[in-house]
Chain A
Amino acid sequence: MLSFVSAHSPLLAIVIPLISAPLCMLFGNRTVAFTISTLAVAASFALSIYLLWWVKDGTVLSYHIGGWAPPLGIEYRVDTANAFVLLIVSAMGLLTLPYARTSITDEIDENHHTLFYACYMLCFTGLMGVTITGDAFNVFVFLEISSLSTYVLVALGAKKDKRALSAAYDYLVLGTIGATFFVIGLGFIYMATGTLNMVDLSQRLPAISDSRTVRAGFALIVIGMGLKVAVYPLHRWLPGAYTYSPSAVSVFLASTATKVALYVIIRFMFSVYSARFGFEAVTFQYVILPLALVAMFGASFVAVYQINLKRMLAYSSVSQIGYMLLGLSLLNVEGVSGAFVHMFNHAMTKGALFMAVGAIVFRTGSAMLPNMAGLGKQMPWTSAAIVIGGLSLIGVPSSAGFVSKWVLMSAAFERDWWLIAFLIVGSSLIAVVYVWRVIEVLYLQQPNKDVVVKEAPLSLLVPTWILIITTLWFGLHADFAIGFATTAAENLIQGGFGGKEVIILGVESR
């Protein structure tokens, strides 16, 4: 049994949550659905940890689906980079579920709860699948699985606020355009190479990297995924989707969806295209880098003026994505590992923040900032979580955010880009402003009415605080994240799909 699980672990990590989605629907009872989905995500999480431990030294796992050998068959390929992302996604998925169970009672009609779990599981499956697969077209399929379920999840916020519908619609249109661009890009490189397997692509592309088809393919893939990542000018869907979706969905999306899309960009850029130099590198240096900087400042400025806390956090996400793109654009090991570290840290931080805000919404019914006056007294734990999460957004030492900033700045200095280092710290100054606006409202204003607000229930507080504590823990024990990220970045920077040793799985089943 154990050897079976071990041999099929990459597949099981995807298939278990996938199967659980229809099961949730079949049973039609929300407690059962919750149990099934929690078990499935927990299994997936355990498998992710197992995989990460397996590949932490640079080993690569190649799982052949159905025993069909790669360029023809679909391959799941696990290396340090995507095992790390798998861990982020599954950990956040696991933490969000118990939170969601309480939080959606207020936000979604009771008879829709099983639907919620089914969609959630599909979304989770999609994100995990995008990450694990080694087949370019498979990325698109999983991406659409996650996107379609995400649109539904966002639209579920309509009971509380009908703007969720228009937000979901906007997201649907933009998300589909992005995915279609991605498919066009894939079509171009398929035309040029005749293969869709990523390893195969990485071997064939260097020879024809000057061809315009291949370049256009790269551009289309970056734009398509850029829409999903919410790269600065393509971020229009994000604030609405994060603001009006149910709290649990905001948590999950903010901490995973954009990261997974970013991972796809990283994968295509470094592994498939081996983009250390040449056209792809230039794209990043002269197009993505400025956009990242604009995001870091522009979106932060916009965040300062938001009166809705969820929307503020959404804009802050756009700016934090700028940090990750900045790390990539540095095109060195430190920069790429900085991007990975920030993915990890930002997932924890933003997840915790959205959870805390969700808890406030659960109790007070509103995410409007002035409504939160004096909550520091009434909801001490939730408010404290917001403070610590906010400090992590700023990048105060001992919080996870500091680690990312540290690595990114080291990367900038490594390349002798002083100005970039200054801009990184400069933009976190704006974060001080928007975070402190919230802290002042929570702690230094008098409550504006006599309504007694109770502290959030434990089922909301516990996941929030688990994330807060991990934020602090990994802020001090940074070598965990930095270690994995550096191994991942070193492999990526080399280009192609190098790795210490490739272990092939899934073949013996035939």
Chain B
Amino acid sequence: MDRIFNAEFALGHMNYWLFVILMMTGLYIVVARGNLLKKIVGLNLFQVAVFMLYISMGKVSGGTAPILIDNPNQLYSNPLPHVLILTAIVVGIATTSLGLALIVRINETYGTIEEDEVLEIDHQMHADEVAKVEKLKPAKLDAS
């Protein structure tokens, strides 16, 4: 740990580095992209990176698939994370499909799937609402 760069450490955790990169790419896309569809893509990337983290975590080097065979000494990988991730994948698919469905509806009502434009329409609606209300009541909200 004294060395600033520990090649063994870095290479030995290769899979984690890759997941970190993948995860951050996904998160970056979610945050930085204005297109709602691309955000969903980023979100998927982000989630998939986590899935892979779990899957690689369960891998035992030299182990096989955890299937019951005759040899009791057969080394096998930890099946639990894999099973967990099956659940998470289902959740991820549900999230994605729901997100896509929302995008379709947003496209229908707003006529755009660019976040900036959606936001602008939102703000415009709010301003209209306020203006309508103010017109109803010429006196200011706070009387003094």
| B57–A177 CB distance below 8 A | no
| B141–A180 CB distance below 8 A | no
Output the least CB separation between B100 and chain A (Å).
10
Of the candidates B43, B88, B134, the one whose C-beta lies within 8 Å of that of A140 is B88
Given A172-B98, A173-B43, A187-B57, answer yes or no on A368-B129 (Cβ-Cβ < 8 Å). yes
Q: Does B50 contact A (CB under 8 A)?
A: yes
Task: Tell me the residues in window 139-190 of chain A with beta carbons closer than 8 Å to chain B beta carbons.
Answer: 140-141, 144, 148, 151-152, 155, 158, 161-163, 165-166, 168-169, 172-173, 176-177, 179-180, 183-184, 187, 190
Residues of B within 8 A of A172 (CB): 95, 98-99, 102
| A370–B136 CB distance below 8 A | yes
Q: Does A458 contact B (CB under 8 A)?
A: no
Output the least CB separation between B69 and chain A (Å).
21
Given A163-B125, A177-B43, A190-B81, answer yes or no on A369-B105 (Cβ-Cβ < 8 Å). no
| A187–B53 CB distance below 8 A | yes
Task: Tell me the residues in window 106-157 of chain A with beta carbons closer than 8 Å to chain B beta carbons.
Answer: 137, 140-141, 144, 148, 151-152, 155
Residues of B within 8 A of A449 (CB): 136
Interface string of B96-132 (1 = CB under 8 A from A): 0011001101100110000000110010010001100
In angstroms, Cα B126 to Cα A308, docked, is: 10
| A166–B122 CB distance below 8 A | yes
Output the least CB separation between A411 and chain B (Å).
36
Output the least CB separation between A41 and chain B (Å).
23
Which of B36, B53, B98 has most chain A Cβ within 10 Å? B98
In angstroms, Cα B126 to Cα A162, docked, is: 12
| B102–A169 CB distance below 8 A | yes
| B102–A165 CB distance below 8 A | yes
Which of A158, A173, A191, A307 has most chain B Cβ within 10 Å? A173
| A180–B98 CB distance below 8 A | no
| A180–B46 CB distance below 8 A | yes
Q: Does A97 contact B (CB under 8 A)?
A: no
Of the candidates B81, B130, B137, the one whose C-beta lies within 8 Å of that of A448 is B137
Given A166-B118, A166-B122, answer yes or no on A190-B57 (Cβ-Cβ < 8 Å). yes
| A162–B109 CB distance below 8 A | yes
Given A148-B94, A169-B36, answer yes or no on A183-B88 (Cβ-Cβ < 8 Å). yes
Q: Does B133 contact A (CB under 8 A)?
A: yes
Interface residues on B, range: 35 or more
Closest to A167 in B: B122
Of the candidates A137, A158, A173, A448, the one whose C-beta lies within 8 Å of that of B109 is A158
Interface size on A, residues (CB 8 A): 40
Given A155-B102, A172-B102, A177-B30, answer yes or no on A368-B53 (Cβ-Cβ < 8 Å). no
| A151–B102 CB distance below 8 A | yes
Task: Tell me the residues in window 286-315 of chain A with beta carbons closer than 8 Å to chain B beta carbons.
Answer: 307-308
| B134–A176 CB distance below 8 A | no
| B95–A176 CB distance below 8 A | yes
Residues of B within 8 A of A155 (CB): 102, 105
Residues of B within 8 A of A140 (CB): 88, 91
Given A148-B94, A184-B50, answer yes or no on A165-B109 (Cβ-Cβ < 8 Å). yes
Residues of A within 8 A of B81 (CB): 187, 190
Q: Does A398 contact B (CB under 8 A)?
A: no
Given A163-B125, A370-B141, answer yes or no on A144-B91 (Cβ-Cβ < 8 Å). yes
In angstroms, Cα B80 to Cα A187, docked, is: 11
| A368–B99 CB distance below 8 A | no
Given A307-B141, A370-B133, answer yes or no on A165-B47 (Cβ-Cβ < 8 Å). no
| B122–A163 CB distance below 8 A | yes
Which of B27, B46, B91 has most chain A Cβ within 10 Å? B91
Given A137-B84, A162-B109, answer yes or no on A169-B99 (Cβ-Cβ < 8 Å). yes
Of the candidates A152, A165, A180, A190, the one whose C-beta lies within 8 Å of that of B106 is A165
Q: Does A51 contact B (CB under 8 A)?
A: no
In angstroms, Cα B106 to Cα A148, docked, is: 17
Q: Does B76 contact A (CB under 8 A)?
A: no
Q: Does A371 contact B (CB under 8 A)?
A: yes
Output the least CB separation between B72 and chain A (Å).
19
Task: Tell me the residues in window 23-49 of chain B with beta carbons closer than 8 Å to chain A beta carbons.
Answer: 27, 30, 36, 39, 43, 46-47
In angstroms, Cα B54 to Cα A406, docked, is: 45
Residues of A within 8 A of B74 (CB): none
| A176–B136 CB distance below 8 A | no
In angstroms, Cα B57 to Cα A190, docked, is: 9
30 contacts between A and B (CB under 8 A): A140-B88, A141-B87, A148-B91, A152-B98, A165-B102, A165-B106, A165-B109, A166-B106, A166-B110, A166-B122, A168-B102, A169-B99, A173-B30, A173-B99, A177-B27, A180-B47, A187-B50, A187-B53, A187-B81, A190-B81, A196-B84, A307-B130, A308-B129, A368-B130, A370-B141, A371-B133, A373-B137, A437-B141, A437-B142, A449-B136
Question: Lowest 10 A-B CB distances belong to which pairs?
Answer: A162-B109, A144-B91, A370-B133, A368-B133, A169-B102, A448-B137, A370-B137, A165-B106, A166-B118, A448-B136
Interface residues of A (CB under 8 A from B): 137, 140-141, 144, 148, 151-152, 155, 158, 161-163, 165-166, 168-169, 172-173, 176-177, 179-180, 183-184, 187, 190-191, 196, 307-308, 366, 368-371, 373, 437, 441, 448-449
